[in-house]
Structure 1
Amino acid sequence: MKNYRFRPATSDDVPRILQIIAQAQRRMAAAGSGQWQNGYPALGNIVSDLGRGYGHVLCCDADSGACGQRASVAGRNDSETVVAYGAIVFDGEPAYDALDGQWLTAGPYVVVHRLAVSDEALGQGLGRAFLQQTERLAREQGVGAFRIDTNFDNRRMLHILASEGFVCCGKIRYESGERLAFEKRLGGITERG
């Protein structure tokens, strides 16, 4: 993750986060995916993430050339550009309690929701880097499992999850529809038997 910094998101980052999410929504629609096409995630989701300490960003030094073209963000004069956003949750996901399938592990887990990468930073492995940083945080907190879900037609995310060692464990349901649920063992917890 050379030239990138991983940190908690702040309220100053919200306009850029919303810009990145809008870009991801357009890419998903262009790829024929139904995910994130119903107004989610929205400003309220991001504000809630920040209020709960979930929101995290990957940033790059715009002067290094690693960001691609610098994104313009109103009110930001610094040389750091947010290029990816995600919500890192350590206190569970209620929908995961009703998994149609079987999780690999029992016990505490970390979840990432709302992961999005900016258009200008695509192809630089930032989605993968965000997941790796989440895994690092989980290990530091003694959490031995990483769970995540995505739409069945989100090919980009499905590819990243497979390459990062996640295993499909079944399906979950949200109001917006069914999602494939994945888990990766991080070690140090009891496996289901």
Structure 2
Amino acid sequence: MTSVMIRLAATTDVPAIMDIIQQAKHLLAADGIPQWQGAYPTKDDVTRDIDRQYTYLLIANHAIVGTATLFQAADPNYATIYDGAWQPGTSDHYATIHRIAIAPGHAGAHLGDLFFSNLTSEAYRLDFREMRIDTHVKNKRMQHVLLKAGFTYSGVVRMDNDPQDLRNVYQLML
């Protein structure tokens, strides 16, 4: 059995995180998904989130195999939702998963499922009762993982109010 856990990232983890992000960028490009094809996410984005204690690492057999940001403030990109709605009774107190990536080479190990389960538990421990996440409309792989993790499709948002940068948004009530 593989030993799997999550932990908060430290600044010494930045090279490993950036390596996983670079690998994820290549995978997205190979799938024809324009998400993350520019400079974003940058080393500064990662470092800022580590300083806020928002970045978590997925550890399997003592190696860093995944990274995610558990953002703990309302996301301005989620203020206006198109072609859908957030579930009734929601508020601005929710955690958002951003910049999630698992190193290629772990296909079939269901590490994404374990990562989402651990992030959900961590959000609950931090007193959040709602989680949100977005993914590019073309990212069918992530959409499948989200539905399997119990997230519900809620609609579409525009990133930074750009009508060309559309993301499907999902929500999970805890």
Match in the other structure for 1:132:
117
Match in the other structure for 1:183:
171
Largest Rg, 1 or 2: 1
Matching residue within 127, 134, 145 for 1:142: 127
Calculate the aligned-residue CA RMSD, in Å.
1.5
The separation in 1 between residues aligned to 2:53 and 2:135, in whole angstroms, is 22
TM-score by length of 2: 0.90
Give aligned pairs, total.
168
Which AA in structure 2 matches 1:42?
A: T
Matching residue within 82, 85, 93 for 1:102: 85
- Offset of 1:142 from its aligned partner? 2.8
CA contact (8 A) 2:4 2:59 kept: yes
The separation in 2 between residues aligned to 1:122 and 1:39, in whole angstroms, is 26
TM-score by length of 1: 0.82
Which AA in structure 2 matches 1:17?
A: I
5+ long unaligned stretches in structure 1: 62-79, 187-193
Instruction: Name the SS for the 1:121 alignment partner.
Output: coil
Mapping for residues 36-51 of structure 1, pairs under 5 Å: 36-51=36-51
- Offset of 1:118 from its aligned partner? 0.5
Runs (4+) of structure 1 moved beyond 3 Å?
none
Same amino acid, percent of matched pairs: 31
Deviates more, 1:100-109 or 1:161-170: 100-109
CA deviation string 1:53-95 (max 9, x = no partner): 111101122xxxxxxxxxxxxxxxxxx3210000001212111
